[in-house]
Amino acid sequence: MEGVLINTNPTVSVRLTSTLSSFEAERRFNRGLTLAELKCKLELVVGTPASSMELQLFSTTNKFLMNMDNDEALLGSYPVDDDCRIHVIDKTGAKIGEFEDLSRVEKYELPDDVYDKRTDSVRSFLKKKKAGRFKEEDMEKEADKEAEEKAATENVTVGSRCEVTIPGQPRKLGTVMFVGKAEFKPGYWVGIKYDEPLGKNDGSVNGKRYFECQDKYGAFVKPQNVTVGDFPEEDYGLNDEI
């Protein structure tokens, strides 16, 4: 008497295809599931509502075996072996690729001003590192700033009398001693010899000399803070006799 081969493995691994997708998936299911229960699980895989599914069973070599049309029957009651294929037919009228087209999915977009305030975002990281477009923007800003400073030096010449007005500081008078770029910081600078000891240096910075003057009479300021004109040296009465 020939023996009968009985598959006692409680689970089976099957390949899944669908009329809605060109991709094939693989899942393992319990043979004790009813087809109704199986369809509920397949809904999460293929996107078709369980109530709108028709199932077909194919062999490991993709040969059609039968329709799986009894929702109350157990999966194990069908000749389903490992690597068989279950094909899901969508009866809603949807077309292949419909659920693969992400352009049709409504996306939530965080308002730009809200995203800008976040400190844990990619944008925040790039800003801190001045990388990507922020590096380019920073370079453009620096270039615009330098061009503005250069334009402001056009009427500032060495030897001119000038007035220096810096926000939060008193008005100062002096003589222009240097105009141009310096090594201590980027951009254009104007070196001033003040009439009073209101400066920070003697015309040199970091060991490099740009002009000569007494200590604390020299300073370097941005050209936008300098106005050249007829500014005679004020008489502070230092030579008056008492």
Q: Would you say residue 6 has pLDDT above 60?
A: no
Query: pLDDT value at position 98?
Result: 56
Question: For the residues 218-239, what does the mean pLDDT come to?
Answer: 83
Topology classification of domain 11-90: Ubiquitin-like (UB roll) (3.10.20)
Question: For the residues 102-116, what does the mean pLDDT come to?
Answer: 67
Where do the structural domains in the chain lie, given as residue ranges? 11-90, 161-228
Q: How many Å apart are CA 95 and CA 135, to the nearest integer?
A: 45
Q: How many Å apart are CA 193 and CA 22, to the nearest integer?
A: 79
Q: How many Å apart are CA 55 and CA 49, to the nearest integer?
A: 12
Binned at pLDDT 50, 70 and 90, residue 84 comes out as very high
Asked if the 161-228 domain carries CATH number 3.40.640.10, the reply is: no
Parallel, antiparallel, or unpaired for β 85-90 and 11-18?
parallel
Query: pLDDT value at position 196?
Result: 94
Q: Would you say residue 110 has pLDDT above 70?
A: no
Model pLDDT for residues 181-228, shown as the tens digit of each residue: 999 999 999 999 999 999 999 999 999 999 999 999 999 999 999 999
